[in-house]
Structure 1
Amino acid sequence: MRILHTGDWHLGRQFHAVSLHEDHDVVLAQVEEAIAAYAPDVLIIAGDIFDRATPPQTALRRFNDFVRRVGATSGTAIVLIAGNHDSAAQIGMMGVLADPDRSLVRGPLDPEEKPLLLSDEHGPVAISALPFSFEFAARACYGNDDISCPADVLREQVASARRHLPDGARWVVVAHAFVEGASTSEGERPLTRAVGGIETVPSSVFEGAHYVALGHLHRPQAVGAEHVRYAGAPLAFGFDEEGHDKSMTLVDLAADGSVTTTPIPFVPRRRIRTLRGRLAELLAAPEGSDDLIGIVLTDETPQIDPMKRIRRLYPNAVQLAYERNATAGEQRLREGRVALQRPQEVIVNFVGFVREQEISEAERALVETALGDMVVAGEDA
């Protein structure tokens, strides 16, 4: 069985107020080219199809046109789920008229997670599509008031899906989650609404699955095991993703359930880049660029109207900072992190600031004792 795994398209998203419509057209065309070249049995879109619950009409049309073209030009089945950026109800409605033998579209939760069943020369493959859901909706769906975190939600979904597996079927799970140990990017929204809530889930929750097609995190990566993978987003959505390779994942599922994965690179229409230097040096460049640009000026003094002048060469320059300011901010951040490693000093300094006088030695000893008791309690827990 051959699977093409992608996700986190975020159709309708902008990059610092710059439209990405044409950038999305380019990567969607590359998905279609991969379908034509590799003839996968199924295309998996692992959530965050849209960037927000009420996407613009242009994003809806772009996705609907893509699905129609894939259906008309290939025999590839489609499995897609709602992510945390999507409207579950809207995604669910997309599956109302879909062919149940060639598609599985999952928006809202269902207490009975029935798979899409496909077959190859080695027998059946069951694909369970587990849409993202917040805890309150999962408590109502499964009648379990003990659900308190994303891991609890997924355990209920996986348990329901497991009940519907045919004997001897190889099992593929599609989910939208933050698996422990994975690398993040700045553009990802938290998956829990609880302040201080734990949003990660262990990879062991997917025990028994032969391949786990994940969405949510934007970097292509395996986590916990080689068969538990994020395809990543097709585009970079933050400057922290500068230089990162983007890809979709081609998965070949063997008769024994083992998988071979091959990244298929995306070639973006524009790159995300940071340019650093004095304003005069940047303006002296022989030619400009349509890339999405962040500027870091090394000038010692403020320059006159720098962004307006830079945009004559780089019309998509979207961010400007002076290196001296950025360096000072990074230093304060480092100092703050170091301070957090000495909590007693943080407390002492805070109390002294509020009182406008230093705390006494007796009070300092009380702070040390209280922190020591907390450490002991944590070790005993």
Structure 2
Amino acid sequence: MRILHTADLHLGRQFVGLALDEDHAAVLDQIIDVVGTQSVDVLVIAGDVFDRAAPSETAVRQFNRFLQRVTRETAAAVVMIAGNHDSGDRIGSMAVMPDISRALIRGPVEADERPLLVKDEHGLVAFSALPFSYEHAARACFGNTALETPEHVLSAQVAAARRNVPEGARWVITAHAFVAGGTSGETERPLAKVGGIETVSHEIFDGAAYVALGHLHRPQSVGLPHIRYSGSPLAFGFDEAGAQKSMVLVDLRADRADTTLIPFTPVRGVRVLKGRHAELLLADSSTDIVKAVLTDEAPVIDAMKRLREVFPNACALVYERDERQLKRAGTFTRPVAAAEPIDVVGGFLQLVRDEPMSDREREIVIARLQDLGQKEDAA
């Protein structure tokens, strides 16, 4: 069985004030092209379809046209979930498709999570779609007030899905989460309250043949090779300048999942250019989205205006000397994200004994941190 794994479209998003509608249209076209040319059986979209819970009409129409084309132009089934940027109800309303045998779309969390069953030459494949859910909604859904962390919520979802997987079926899970060990960037929104533990263990997915993840914008595997993030199809911050974005083509065989990264070709690249202002003006003109780091010691008159004559989509400009001064003063150009407590403990253990935290140690630390959180809530 052939699966195409994508995620984190963030339709409607802007890049420092620049609209990305045409950029998104191009990557949606490329997804449909791959679904057709690679004979994909199931298209997976692992959350954050839209950039906000109340997306613009333009973004909604763009995605509706995309789903219509998938249905009309290909034979692929669609598995899709809501991410933390989405409205679960809005994504759930898209579950009404012309052929329900070809779709599994989950917006709100469900206590009785039933899979989409697809058959190939090796037998049944069960697709479980586990949408992102905050703790309060999961408590109401599962009737369990002890769900206090993203790991608790996802564990409850996986357990509910596992009960409905037929005996002997290969199991594919789609989820939107921060799995421990993953590499994040500047543009992901935290999944837990301030000071809370947002990461989950890859061991939650025990028994799955492939796990299609969303949330982290960099393509990567976490924990095990078959647990993967496809990453976002576009770069949304300058920390991803020059990064190769891709979708994951998964060949699910009888005993393993083979993956191939298929690169996206963006309409506009994202670049950071460094040099003297006069030197940058001599570069070839480009529509790429650009941040300029000027090495000039003196301020340049109309620096951005003149730069945009060569790079019309330049949207950020800083002086290297200013950044040096900020570093010497011990400050940064943006707030530094607070480290997760579990990561602080893990880093300390790595430092003092030169080996990572074991799974058992991780369980003990998480339990103690949860005890502390409950005592703080009760105080």
TM-score scaled to structure 2, two decimals?
A: 0.86
| Corresponding residue number in structure 1 for 2:355 | none
| Corresponding residue number in structure 2 for 1:7 | 7
Question: What's the CA shift string for 1:25-54, capped at 9, x where partnerless?
Answer: 111111011011111110000000000011
Question: What's the CA shift string for 1:324-357, capped at 9, x where partnerless?
Answer: 111222344489xxxx9xxxxxxxxxxxxxxxxx
Shift of 1:244: 1.1
- 1:242-253 → structure 2 map (5 Å cutoff): 242-253=241-252
- 1:218-367 → structure 2 map (5 Å cutoff): 218-256=217-255, 258-285=256-283, 287-333=284-330
Q: Which amino acid aligns with 1:266?
A: F
For 1:18 and 1:332, locate their aligned partners in 2 and report how far apart those are by CA, in whole Å: 32
Q: Residue 65 in 1 paired to residue 77 in 2?
A: no
Question: What's the CA shift string for 1:101-137, capped at 9, x where partnerless?
Answer: 1100000011101000100111110000000000111
- 1:167-246 → structure 2 map (5 Å cutoff): 167-192=167-192, 194-246=193-245
Question: What's the CA shift string for 1:189-208, capped at 9, x where partnerless?
Answer: 0001x220000000001111
For 1:269 and 1:11, locate their aligned partners in 2 and report how far apart those are by CA, in whole Å: 15
Q: Residue 84 in 1 paired to residue 84 in 2?
A: yes
| Corresponding residue number in structure 2 for 1:357 | none
Q: Which amino acid aligns with 1:220?
A: P
For 2:282 and 2:180, locate their aligned partners in 1 and report how far apart those are by CA, in whole Å: 47
Question: Mind listing any 5+ residue stretches in structure 1 that lack a counterpart?
Answer: 341-377
Q: Is the 2:126–2:171 contact (alpha carbons within 8 Å) kept by the matching residues of 1?
A: yes
For 1:237 and 1:104, locate their aligned partners in 2 and report how far apart those are by CA, in whole Å: 28
- 1:120-131 → structure 2 map (5 Å cutoff): 120-131=120-131
| Corresponding residue number in structure 2 for 1:363 | none
Shift of 1:309: 1.2
Structure 1 residues 109, 303: closer, same or farther in 2, change over 3 A?
Answer: same
* Root-mean-square deviation (Å): 1.6
| Corresponding residue number in structure 2 for 1:16 | 16
| Corresponding residue number in structure 1 for 2:50 | 50
| Corresponding residue number in structure 2 for 1:359 | none
User: SS of the residue aligned with 1:101?
Assistant: helix
Question: What's the CA shift string for 1:38-76, capped at 9, x where partnerless?
Answer: 111100000000000111111111111111111111110
For 1:77 and 1:51, locate their aligned partners in 2 and report how far apart those are by CA, in whole Å: 24
Question: What's the CA shift string for 1:76-114, capped at 9, x where partnerless?
Answer: 000000000000000000103453211000000111010
Q: Is the 2:251–2:259 contact (alpha carbons within 8 Å) kept by the matching residues of 1?
A: yes
Question: What's the CA shift string for 1:157-216, capped at 9, x where partnerless?
Answer: 000001101111000000000000001111100001x22000000000111111000000
Q: Which amino acid aligns with 1:158?
A: V
| Corresponding residue number in structure 1 for 2:96 | 96
| Corresponding residue number in structure 2 for 1:354 | none
For 2:274 and 2:133, locate their aligned partners in 1 and report how far apart those are by CA, in whole Å: 42
For 1:9 and 1:332, locate their aligned partners in 2 and report how far apart those are by CA, in whole Å: 38
| Corresponding residue number in structure 1 for 2:38 | 38
Q: Which amino acid aligns with 2:316?
A: Q
| Corresponding residue number in structure 2 for 1:138 | 138
For 1:98 and 1:161, locate their aligned partners in 2 and report how far apart those are by CA, in whole Å: 25
Question: What's the CA shift string for 1:240-264, capped at 9, x where partnerless?
Answer: 00121110000011112x1100000
For 2:235 and 2:91, locate their aligned partners in 1 and report how far apart those are by CA, in whole Å: 24
Aligned residues: 336
Q: Which amino acid aligns with 1:61?
A: R
| Corresponding residue number in structure 2 for 1:343 | none
Question: What's the CA shift string for 1:229-279, capped at 9, x where partnerless?
Answer: 0000000000000121110000011112x1100000101111101111111
Q: Which amino acid aligns with 2:286?
A: S
Deviating runs (4+, > 6 A) in structure 1? none
User: SS of the residue aligned with 2:207?
Assistant: coil
